[in-house]
Amino acid sequence: MASTTPSTQPDVRAAQLAAIAAAAGTPCYVYDARAIRGAYATLDRAFDGYPHAIHYALKANSTLAVVRLLHSLGSNADANSLGEVDVAMRCGFRPDQVVFTGVGKSAAEIDRAVSLGLLAINVESPGELDRIDQRAIAQGVKTRVALRVNPDIDAKSHPHISTGLKSNKFGVPIGEALALFREMSSRRGLQPVGAHVHIGSQITTLDPLQKAAQAVVALAQSLRHDNIHLQHLDMGGGLGISYDGAPVVDPAEYVRALVAATKSSGLKVAIEPGRVLVGPAGVLLTKVVDVKQFPGAKRFVVVDAGMTELMRPALYNAYHRIEPLARRDAAESIVDIVGPICESTDAYARDRAFPQVEVDDLLVVADVGAYGAAMGHTYLRRPLPPEVMIDGDQWRIIRRRQTLDELLALETE
Ligand SMILES: Cc1ncc(COP(=O)(O)O)c(C=O)c1O
């Protein structure tokens, strides 16, 4: 597992983070380029020469410098919206390195995806199959498509980030896949090149991932009997990371399991990892703005970051490790660490043993590189925070803090 902190030497790391907080202000995201490189290399190496493509899932973090870094490492891209497709292009990806997934692609998105000639548009329904075919015929092209199958497998993750059950809106039931592949190969505008499965995110056991892989491999084998020959099997993303120190699947073991499941087919394996590549590489720096004790009841540490900067705790009750940048003493008390937003769900931690802190102390929220800044929003007219990339002892601002004027620039009075 990649390092969860921007430096292995605590004093150096603390000094660097303190310098960043002083220069960029708080709240502020900080990513460690070395941790991202390390996580990418672990996945890539584990394929051990087996034909594969790693499509970084931009939805985890699509800040340009992060996407460019992944591109420079040899990654491909997985986009979940037209915006992400365009970000991928801007960061140097060729269209044939991008897969495009999305449960409700608009006509404009389909039109542009077809005209770009992406590696694959992952088809989510029979209706969408039809719409893509029509747009491809109108443009006079044959467009590459993969079918997203829903294997009805429980990812055993949080219900809000599980996508592979038949009660979820994603893909087509795997039992209908054969008929839909036949349909796709009969269409003038479509070239079926792959099968796609993505059963959820933050998956911490191998079994569901392995089962999903086996299901698409079996599908590919039966397609061969129909003379439909795919080029890749896209196993999606979903590999979890350890937010709380509990054991998770080793990324190399995950890759080896995918290869073992796929080898008999000889097909190229594509994966769409997001969280595992960038999650542990990011921290959020935030400052204590108030400490208050309700008599005989709760003690609150109020910080200057909230659900606007980091949605995960409010959205999924997600756990993040939080530490003071400089510890005052060993004593701990039970506190809620809460944001400044007028919503009761705006809490990063509840009833957590935490060291003594005072107003203006800096706190470090760990493992926020994925689904942190990417989910940020401007509720209460809070401008988006800056983002910083550390590379060894160097660091640079990769997104400056939004100004209120920029936030209001789209509006008329
Ligand atoms: C289609 C698809 N691919 C890949 C991912 C990336 O998942 P993760 O960040 O869990 O690896 C997601 C996220 O849920 C997704 O929806």
For residue 178, what are its two tokens? 């054969």
In angstroms, what is the span from residue 297 Cα to ligand 1's centroid? 40
In angstroms, what is the span from residue 81 Cα to ligand 1's centroid? 13
In angstroms, what is the span from residue 18 Cα to ligand 1's centroid? 33
In angstroms, what is the span from residue 78 Cα to ligand 1's centroid? 9
Please indicate whether residue 54, judged by its CB atom, sits closer than 6 Å to ligand 1.
no
In angstroms, what is the span from residue 263 Cα to ligand 1's centroid? 23
pLDDT at 169: 73
pLDDT at 93: 98
Residue 378 dihedral angles phi and psi, to the nearest 5°: -115, 25
Residue with tokens 């088809």: 123
Residue whose Cα lies nearest atom 12 of ligand 1: it is: 237
In angstroms, what is the span from residue 33 Cα to ligand 1's centroid? 21
d(CA 253, CA 247): 13
Task: Select from 80, 122, 243, 316 the residue to mutate for testing ligand 1; criterion: most ligand atoms less than 8 Å from CB.
Answer: 80
Please indicate whether residue 60, judged by its CB atom, sits closer than 6 Å to ligand 1.
yes
Q: For the segment 90-120, what is each residue's pLDDT rounded down to a tens digit?
A: 999 999 999 999 989 999 999 999 999 999 9
Q: What atom of ligand 1 comes closest to residue 161's alpha carbon?
A: 14
Which residues are known catalytic residues? 342
Task: Select from 201, 233, 316 the residue to mutate for testing ligand 1; criterion: most ligand atoms less than 8 Å from CB.
Answer: 201
Please indicate whether residue 272, judged by its CB atom, sits closer than 6 Å to ligand 1.
yes
Residues 6 or more apart whose CB falls under 8 angstroms from that of 55 comprise 75, 76, 77, 78, 97, 98, 99, 234, 270, 271, 272
Q: For the segment 333-344, what is each residue's pLDDT rounded down to a tens digit?
A: 999 999 999 999
pLDDT at 3: 37
Q: What atom of ligand 1 comes closest to residue 148's alpha carbon?
A: 1
Dihedral (CA of 388, 391, 393, 394) sign? negative
Q: What atom of ligand 1 comes closest to residue 276's alpha carbon?
A: 11
- Bridge-based pairing of strands 394-399 and 387-391 is antiparallel
Supply angle C-alpha 67, 71, 74, rounded to 5: 145
Please indicate whether residue 101, judged by its CB atom, sits closer than 6 Å to ligand 1.
yes
Please indicate whether residue 148, judged by its CB atom, sits closer than 6 Å to ligand 1.
no
d(CA 389, CA 395): 5
d(CA 145, CA 110): 11
Give the three-state DSSP class for 72: helix
Closest CA to 273 of 238, 234, 233: 238
Please indicate whether residue 312, judged by its CB atom, sits closer than 6 Å to ligand 1.
no
Please indicate whether residue 279, judged by its CB atom, sits closer than 6 Å to ligand 1.
no
Please indicate whether residue 59, judged by its CB atom, sits closer than 6 Å to ligand 1.
yes
Q: What atom of ligand 1 comes closest to residue 237's alpha carbon?
A: 11
**Ranges of residues in the chain whose predicted pLDDT is under 50:** 1-7
